Amino acid sequence: MKKIDEYQGKKVLVMGFGISGINAAHLLVKLGANVTANDKATPKNNDIVDDLEADGIKVITGDNPISLANEGFDVVVKNPGIPYDNPLVAAFVKQGTPIITEAELGWQIFDGHLVSVTGSNGKTTTTTLTQLMIAENAKHQVKYAGNIGISFSKIAEDLGPDDTLVTELSSFQLLGAPTIHPHIAIITNIFSNHLDYHKTRENYINAKLNITRNQTKDDFLVINWDRDEWQKIAQRSQATIVPFSRLNKSHEGSYVEDGMIYWRGQEVMPTKDIRLIGPQNVENALAAIAAAKLSGVTNDAIKKVLTTFSGVRHRLQYVMEYQERLFYNDSKSTDIEATEVALQGFDRPVILLAGGLDRGYTFERLVPYFKKHVKAMIVFGECKDKMKDAGNQAGVPVVESENAITAVPEAWKLSEPGDVILLSPANASWDQFSSFEVRGDKFIEAVEELTGKKEQ
């Protein structure tokens, strides 16, 4: 951990009691700040409040009182999910109070080698693969943190100048990280996500590009080269561009040619040996390979990771095989693009479990994928009628169910040996579950109950 005095004697407000907010509050106390912690909700676990107060932190819960804007805070550390049009946040913006996220705080105290990953899809898998690859050859600590569910600042506290940290960073985090400066930045792809928060696609792209804003020609931007738009976006960076591509050969980076992965013209391994399924995971592997090779990782280390790693939980995660049916949990597929990609990864008939929160859009885009890959569908949640309409357009048998749990035995009834039973909802979970993680866990529990086996 790097010693800094930036917060010594400063008055700091931490908004949000998530993992990152709680860790940030305690860290700020160590850095000499006078800290107030605020959450709009009242925590069900009193230990959270007790621990904060025991550290000398003033705690305010149950509201974001606008009066806090008049208390002379020097800095606000905001939970990334709190929008900037929140009345209290908007008041701080209006008066010019600096607003950062915990990722910025983590960067300020980090004293080692930083690799950062962002993108619309594939962030967590790419982050995990990159960390595993670099760790295979490392003589020092190699950790991951960030939007992957582990506090950036908490991990940064325990790392030194020779250590490496691979961070997954969301657009929300990057908006509040004005000085972050990774030596290697990765952009997996950019679609049109979170426009309810960012308002426009250009705002969303600009937030993502904060990952490379402070980079120089001595740093590297690893970026997907499979769309013209992404190639143009790369031109807005001052870093040395390192492309990765599943579709376009580029000797400046990692790419696929005739079923073989190459790094700058040198063979690395066949794509068929990657344990993760699907074209999107070839792309994730290419991004991770580029970052790993820039970090001095050997081909043997890369091969070891890619031939053994079976996936991040809830992200096209292999659950088990039972009576010649394969079960996959892709609960993280909360948008249409993710489900499109998931379906393309299978060459077996798919029984698809899909549905969830109704965000107002329809699913005609999925019809060609249903026609090609899906044998039958189980639909549920607020948008089940819209999902059913798309299934009917594709000529796919559709069964309605209550949720992702009750859908499992329904899918089993429709399945035959050789089929894949896939939870890939194409929608957020919040109509029925508190998070996509909970939805995925419940799906796995239902599979275990059906089969009498534990996940593999």
Superfamily (CATH H level) for 103-308: Mur-like, catalytic domain (3.40.1190.10)
Q: What are the angstrom distances between the C-alpha of 161 and each of 110, 135, 165?
A: 8, 16, 11
Structure confidence at residue 195 (pLDDT): 79
d(CA 326, CA 319): 8
d(CA 424, CA 404): 10
Structure confidence at residue 53 (pLDDT): 97
Structure confidence at residue 415 (pLDDT): 97
Structure confidence at residue 149 (pLDDT): 85
What would the two tokens of residue 136 be?
Answer: 């295979």
State the architecture of 317-451 in CATH terms.
Alpha-Beta Complex (3.90)
Question: What secondary structure does DSSP assign to 354-391, as a single string?
Answer: EE----S---GGGHHHHHHHEEEEEEESTTHHHHHHHH
Indicate the length of the chain as a whole number: 456
Structure confidence at residue 198 (pLDDT): 87
Domains in the chain: boundaries: 11-100, 103-308, 317-451
Q: What are the angstrom distances between the C-alpha of 224 and each of 186, 187, 414?
A: 9, 7, 38
What would the two tokens of residue 130 be?
Answer: 């990159």
Structure confidence at residue 310 (pLDDT): 82
**Fold (CATH) for 11-100:** Rossmann fold (3.40.50)
User: With 0-12 CB in 10 A as exposed, 13-18 as middle and 19+ as buried, what is 91?
Assistant: middle
- Please tell me the number of Cα atoms within 13 Å of 62 on its side-chain side: 1
Q: How big is the CA angle at 386 (ends 383 and 387), to the nearest 5 degrees? A: 85
d(CA 67, CA 77): 17
Which residues are CB-contacts of 53 (< 8 A; sequence separation ≥ 6)? Answer: 59
What would the two tokens of residue 319 be?
Answer: 């659950």
- Please tell me the number of Cα atoms within 13 Å of 223 on its side-chain side: 22
Residue 156 φ/ψ, nearest 5 degrees: -60, -30
Of 13, 20, 71, 53, nearest to 37 by C-alpha is 13
What are the average pLDDT values for consecutive 10-residue runs of the chain, which has 456 residues?
Answer: 95 95 97 98 89 97 97 97 96 98 98 97 94 96 94 96 98 97 97 83 95 98 97 97 94 95 97 92 97 98 95 89 95 92 92 96 96 98 97 98 98 97 97 96 97 90
Does residue 424 sit in helix, strand or coil?
coil
